[in-house]
Amino acid sequence: MSEKRRALEVNKVIGGAIRKHYQDVQQNRPLAYALLAPDPMIELCYAAGIQPAFPENYACVCAARKVSGRFCEVAENNRLLPDLCSYMRTAVGSWFAREVEKLPMGGLPEPDFLVYTTSACVTYYKWWDLYRFYFNKPLIYVNTPRIMDEIEDYYVDFTMKEIQRAIGELEKFLGKKIPDEKIAEVVKYSDQLVEYWHKMLELQKTVPAPAGLNDISNILFLLVALPGTKEAVDIAKQAYEEMRERADKKIGNVSDEKHRLMWLNIPMWYNLGLTNYFEDRGCAIPISDYTNYIWGVPRLDKPDPIESLAIKALKGELNESVEYYIDWMLRDIKEYKLDGVVIHSNRSCKVLSVGLLDAAKIVRETYDIPVLIIESDHTDDRAYSDAEVKTRIDAFIESLG
């Protein structure tokens, strides 16, 4: 590793948790394909002894192993349009390629059923519908209203009823009751995890920032894939303590922090080294919308655990208005003492790319700080040009002064 940046030690533990998750996916039954958070079905799966598997995370794994472009091609050869999100094309393409390719982590086995919450983007509707049709397995889902501003009580009431209905369907499928105490226990663990997460994001306001964007994205795995487990709480505690110690001692992820940037949109999973490229040039990235806004991650500390799960289902950038997040971003530019913004205009993810050009204009007008816009894709690396992107980053860093 470069002497200019120091990754968190806890990354090794998280790497172990990721490997264990994929072993569990190979071994444990019943197996449900699930969305990443904000999906209360994940906690319900853990409460019911169901093993969730996450096609979306699996697409990230394939990208990190540099095979996502290949799987996108396989999906396109099987009639998925190139305009569909590359998460979907990678995960579905890996299934079609399973008999002729060696799949990272052994691939995702066929699920016993599918779970889903509608507060995510429209891609998922069709993606999970394709799985339902292809595997001919039940789909159990929570329907949520679209939120534009505040979460009104009637939204919460409606979503609680949906969660209760989904619990009933899970119990029917499993042929047994999911004990209320078990649901309360997983929600308690989930809340403890969120509490540590909030504290870690707060520590990132320290100058120099204790963790880098890759560190925080790694820790996010706990929030999106293991919420409701004690294992996730224990690792989050370890991550928080390491970050707090660094913050107390003024040890930064970047040893010579000159600039502080915000990253907008999903990172390019096939090239996480791009973050290192910034860091090696004295640019810390303490915050991104991907880590701080997209997943919502509210506390789950209501007296009724079902109410906590309902609020979780309703929060998140995918279910709220663009204006709401632009206001949040403007506030955070101040609070995190940022002097530049990097926007990834992501060809695959229209839902997170909508409004980004407006965001760039508003940031320039409000704070008069440089904004870099990179056009690429988060998982499909076939159109990515490293040399071109780095030339633009060099010019951007010069403009930071």
- SS3 category, 245: helix
59 is an interface residue for ligand SF4 by CB under 6 A:
no
CB of 11 vs ligand SF4, minimal distance in Å: 23
Site size toward ligand SF4 (CB under 6 A) is: 11
Per-residue b or e along 149-186, where b marks 16 or more CB atoms closer than 10 Å to that residue's CB: eebeeebbeebbebbeebbeebeebeeeebeeebbebb
Residue 188: name the closest of 11, 46, 315 by CA.
46
What does the per-residue mask of binding to ligand SF4 show for 110-149, with x meaning CB under 6 A?
Answer: -----------x-xx-------------------------
189 is an interface residue for ligand SF4 by CB under 6 A:
no
What does the per-residue mask of binding to ligand SF4 show for 64-93, with x meaning CB under 6 A?
Answer: ---------------------x-x------
Cβ neighbors of 91 (< 8 A, separation 6 or more) are: 55, 56, 58, 59, 62, 71, 108, 127
Work out the burial of residue 361: count CB atoms within 10 Å of its CB; fewer than 13 is exposed, 13-18 middle, 19 or more buried.
exposed
Task: Examine residue 55 and say whether the peptide bond preceding it is cis (omega within 30 degrees of 0).
Answer: no
351 is an interface residue for ligand SF4 by CB under 6 A:
yes
Element (H, E) at 59: helix 55-64
CB of 210 vs ligand SF4, minimal distance in Å: 28
352 is an interface residue for ligand SF4 by CB under 6 A:
yes
Residue 38 vs 227, nearer CB to ligand SF4: 38
> 11 to each of 103, 198, 269, 272, how far by Cα in Å?
23, 18, 16, 14
62 is an interface residue for ligand SF4 by CB under 6 A:
no
Q: How far apart are CA 171 and CA 162, in angstroms?
A: 14
Considering only the stretches 75-83, 155-163, 301-309, 343-351, report the one whose residues sit in contact with ligand SF4 under the rule CB under 6 A: 343-351
Q: Contacts with ligand SF4 in 295-334 (CB under 6 A)?
A: 318
Considering only the stretches 17-25, 161-169, 253-261, 344-352, report the one whose residues sit in contact with ligand SF4 under the rule CB under 6 A: 344-352
CB of 342 vs ligand SF4, minimal distance in Å: 18
Element (H, E) at 91: helix 86-96
345 is an interface residue for ligand SF4 by CB under 6 A:
no
Binding site for ligand SF4 (CB under 6 A): 85, 87, 121, 123-124, 266, 318, 348-349, 351-352
